[in-house]
């Protein structure tokens, strides 16, 4: 097995090294669950990387949101450039699941916009897991959703080797069975093309490289990778493994048994509806399923194929569906699951099954789906938590659940490599909170630092920002009505100094790394509830722990139990950090971090502005523009700027229609 090798100019601090040694020893002693309690800014990601290196186990890192997953993917790609770091999140830019509302007799058709780059990354993850041992996959909740059987998926692969013989007719038919489409005109992912004795295949999980096979009769004479943009040879290979275009692709025999199983279930269900006098439901189900069967028979695929997953995988009713975990388990070796921000991620995983089940039961009851569609589901929480893996929960504020599971295997990481202390806490009367904050903000701004303010409602965020604007402060608000790209712009603007204050509600908690912020203001801190719970307060306070002048001001009339707990924990940590710094002669300094690139795309790209009259442009010129735009699109996708990549993809589509 290839070892995991970290590439970093840093080495673990004393506190990080201690946490790594303890976690590794715990896993090796046979403990299934362990928790890393690491304060904000203590370098938990670097600790996780060192744990992976020491254990040398394939690893699945799960988190609760896509933004955090993208951040982790970038970081781990940097830490492990020689290993296979993969990205596995939902491949939809937009997804509206099918649903039925009986009261209104309203059926909502499934609607989605698949991001091709994310689909490629998912396929790359499953292909890597079946091919290599040194794999780290960064995933969202998507890892808990059903996939095809890894054994069936692996059974559909093609092995190519110099000197081996293939009938061209067999090969082309096999490629079609694997989900590849012949396209001699426009070559894209999931396509193949034929030119005499040369076959080009563009694997669905490759980025900007295709694969060329040159035959002499039926014998493979040469194989090499091909740069798609330049159509130039990059490197020769002696062996090559090609995987299908979908995890749900199955062999001919399994497809026949799938169709037979669906037909039998349809017959039973139609009889059930007819006996119950539900003729509308029977007719509805008959039309939908027969169409799907026709598509499956002709192409091996249909829209919503995942609803027939039970038959495609050969599983029994109610059996645990296959998921990404099974691709890790397919080799029968130990693997590690790291749950990042576990205090949010685990409750989210727990709620997934019930929500999905409720929607699908209604669809089954009213004849939109067969009962077997209920087996196309996410993992139940018990199925997830009892997987064969070793688990590491990572959070600054783990819940009692993780701590109880870990049974004492809880390791703290309280010291920051920067020497920074937990922020100083100031309590102020909430009667004049708006005016008091204004005066405090002016002092912070004069030092060239920034302020985050957390309030309880959208209305208050908007009104407060309007009021401070009138008083001459540069301020913006951020809440859930603002899309992901705009949020990114707001955070960039705050960090770069376009404005000095950002007002939010719950979006200013986990995962934000803002070294320029030295003051956190928590308005109405004594209004007990989710937004002012112990966990929320500690996470919010943590945003001020990146700056040497970090302060938290809590506006309140009384001190609640949550506030007291958060204050006690913070002050205890601050005292410990200060004593350590004094004993070791450490001078705290603010963290530093590069400002992220903008995700916004200005109207029209530079290339398009150069050729304003595109209709009259010669086809060869337009092809050059498409080529350059495609390169930009792939670069943007590689940098995880999917919104930018999608905008470029749309421009390319417009040009191809001309």
The DSSP H or E segment spanning 381 is helix 381-385
SS3 88: strand
Find all residues with CB under 8 Å of 274, minimum gap 6, and list them. 282
Q: Got the DSSP string for 211-248?
A: EEEEEETTEEEEEEEEETTTTEEEEE-SEEEE--S-TT
Bridge-based pairing state of the strands 191-195 and 92-96 = unpaired
Which of 163-177, 248-262, 278-292, 618-632 is the most confident on average? Answer: 278-292
pLDDT tens digit sequence for 358-410: 888 988 999 999 999 999 888 999 999 999 999 999 998 888 899 999 988 99
User: Is pLDDT at 606 greater than 60 in this prediction?
Assistant: no
pLDDT, the chain, mean: 85
pLDDT of residue 565: 93
User: Is pLDDT at 452 greater than 80 in this prediction?
Assistant: yes
pLDDT tens digit sequence for 282-291: 999 999 999 9
320 DSSP 8-state letter: P
CA distance 628 to 574: 53
Q: Put residue 472 in one of left, alpha, beta given phi > 0 → left and psi -120 to 50 → alpha.
A: left
pLDDT of residue 609: 40
Confidence grade of residue 170 (pLDDT, cut at 50, 70, 90): confident
139 DSSP 8-state letter: E
Burial 65-92 (b: 16+ CB within 10 A, else e): bbbbbbbbbbbbbebbeebbbbbbbbbe
Distances (CA, A) of 44 to 51, 57, 394, 466: 10, 18, 8, 38
Distances (CA, A) of 238 to 222, 223, 224, 241, 603: 8, 7, 8, 11, 46
User: Is pLDDT at 603 greater than 80 in this prediction?
Assistant: no
Range with the lowest mean pLDDT among 321-325, 583-587, 605-609?
Answer: 605-609
Terminal Cα distance for the chain, rounded? 51
CA distance 612 to 614: 6
CA distance 269 to 71: 47
In terms of Cβ atoms closer than 10 Å to its own Cβ (0-12, 13-18, 19+), residue 50 is buried
CA distance 76 to 161: 33
Tokens of 226: 């091909």
> pLDDT > 90: what percent of the chain?
38
CA distance 145 to 613: 47
Contact 284, 276 (CB under 8 A): no
In terms of Cβ atoms closer than 10 Å to its own Cβ (0-12, 13-18, 19+), residue 375 is buried
pLDDT of residue 309: 86
pLDDT of residue 597: 52
CA distance 202 to 34: 42
Compute the residue count for the chain: 658
Of 189 and 60, the structure prediction assigns the larger pLDDT to: 60
Contact 489, 599 (CB under 8 A): yes
Find all residues with CB under 8 Å of 35, minimum gap 6, and list them. 342, 392, 393, 394, 395, 398, 402, 403, 405, 406, 409, 410, 411
Contact 162, 220 (CB under 8 A): yes
CA distance 232 to 587: 55
Confidence grade of residue 245 (pLDDT, cut at 50, 70, 90): confident
User: Is pLDDT at 166 greater than 60 in this prediction?
Assistant: yes
CA distance 105 to 294: 28
pLDDT tens digit sequence for 71-108: 788 889 889 999 999 988 875 544 556 777 777 777 77
List, in sequence order, every residue forming a beta bridge with 338; answer none if it has no partner: 61, 392
Q: How open is the CA angle 426-431-432, to the nearest 5 degrees?
A: 75
Name the packing angle between helices 642-657 and 619-638 (round to 10°): 170
CA distance 420 to 546: 7
Tokens of 606: 């530079």
Tokens of 263: 């037909």
Please tell me the pTM assigned to this model: 0.75
Contact 302, 295 (CB under 8 A): yes
């Amino acid at each position: 097995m290839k070892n995991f090798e970290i590439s970093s100019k840093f080495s673990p601090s004393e506190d990080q090294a201690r946490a790594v040694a303890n976690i590794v020893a715990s896993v090796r002693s046979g403990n299934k669950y362990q928790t890393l309690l690491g304060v904000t800014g203590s370098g938990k990601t670097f600790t996780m990387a060192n744990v992976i290196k020491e254990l040398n186990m394939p690893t699945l890192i799960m988190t609760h949101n896509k933004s955090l997953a993208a951040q982790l993917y970038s970081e781990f790609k940097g830490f492990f450039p020689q290993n296979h770091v993969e990205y596995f999140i939902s491949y939809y830019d937009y997804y509206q699941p099918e649903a039925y509302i009986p009261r209104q007799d309203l059926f909502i058709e499934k609607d989605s916009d698949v991001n091709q780059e994310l689909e490629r990354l998912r396929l790359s993850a499953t292909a890597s897991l079946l091919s290599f041992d040194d794999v780290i996959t960064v995933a969202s909740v998507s890892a808990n959703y059903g996939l095809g059987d890894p054994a069936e998926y692996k059974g559909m692969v093609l092995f190519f080797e110099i000197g081996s013989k293939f009938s061209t007719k067999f090969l082309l038919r096999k490629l079609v069975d694997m989900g590849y489409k012949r396209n001699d005109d426009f070559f894209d992912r999931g396509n193949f093309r034929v030119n005499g004795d040369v076959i080009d295949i563009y694997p669905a999980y490759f980025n900007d490289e295709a694969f060329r096979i040159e035959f002499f009769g039926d014998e493979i004479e040469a194989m090499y990778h091909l740069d798609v943009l330049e159509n130039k040879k990059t490197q020769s290979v002696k062996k090559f493994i090609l995987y299908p275009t979908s995890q749900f692709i199955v062999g001919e025999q399994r497809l026949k048994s799938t169709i037979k199983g669906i037909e039998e279930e349809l017959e039973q269900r139609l009889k059930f509806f007819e006996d119950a006098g539900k003729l509308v439901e029977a007719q509805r189900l008959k039309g939908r399923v027969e169409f799907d069967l026709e598509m499956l028979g002709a192409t091996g695929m249909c829209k919503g194929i995942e609803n027939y997953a039970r038959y495609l995988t050969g599983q029994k009713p109610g059996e645990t569906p296959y998921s990404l975990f099974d691709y890790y388990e397919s080799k029968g070796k130990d693997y590690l699951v790291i749950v990042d921000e576990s205090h949010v991620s685990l409750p989210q995983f727990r709620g997934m099954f019930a929500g999905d089940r409720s929607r699908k039961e209604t669809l089954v009851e009213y004849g939109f789906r067969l009962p077997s569609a209920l087996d196309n589901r996410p993992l139940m929480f018990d199925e997830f938590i009892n997987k064969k893996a070793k688990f590491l929960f990572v959070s600054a504020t783990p819940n009692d659940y993780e701590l109880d599971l870990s049974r004492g295997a809880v390791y703290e990481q309280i010291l920051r490599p920067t020497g920074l202390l937990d922020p100083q806490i100031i309590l102020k009367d909430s009667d004049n909170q708006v005016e008091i904050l204004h005066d405090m903000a002016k002092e912070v701004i004069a030092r060239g630092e920034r302020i985050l303010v957390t309030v309880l409602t959208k209305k208050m965020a908007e009104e407060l920002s309007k009021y401070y604007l009138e008083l001459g402060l540069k301020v913006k608000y951020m809440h859930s009505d603002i899309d992901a790209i705009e949020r990114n712009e707001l955070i960039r603007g705050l960090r770069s100094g376009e404005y000095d204050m950002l007002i939010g509600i719950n979006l200013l908690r986990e995962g934000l790394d803002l070294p320029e912020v030295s003051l956190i203001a928590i308005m109405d801190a004594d209004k007990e509830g989710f937004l002012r719970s112990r966990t929320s307060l500690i996470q919010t306070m943590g945003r001020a722990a990146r700056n040497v002048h970090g302060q938290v001001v809590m506006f309140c009339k009384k001190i609640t139990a949550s506030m007291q707990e958060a204050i006690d924990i913070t002050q205890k940590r601050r005292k410990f950090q200060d004593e350590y710094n004094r004993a070791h002669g450490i001078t705290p300094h603010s963290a530093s971090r590069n400002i992220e690139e903008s995700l916004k795309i200005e109207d029209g790209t530079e290339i398009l502005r150069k050729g304003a009259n595109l209709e009259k442009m010669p086809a060869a010129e337009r092809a050059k523009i498409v080529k350059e735009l495609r390169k930009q699109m792939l670069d943007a996708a590689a940098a995880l700027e999917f919104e930018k990549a999608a905008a470029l993809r749309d421009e390319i589509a417009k040009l191809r229609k001309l």
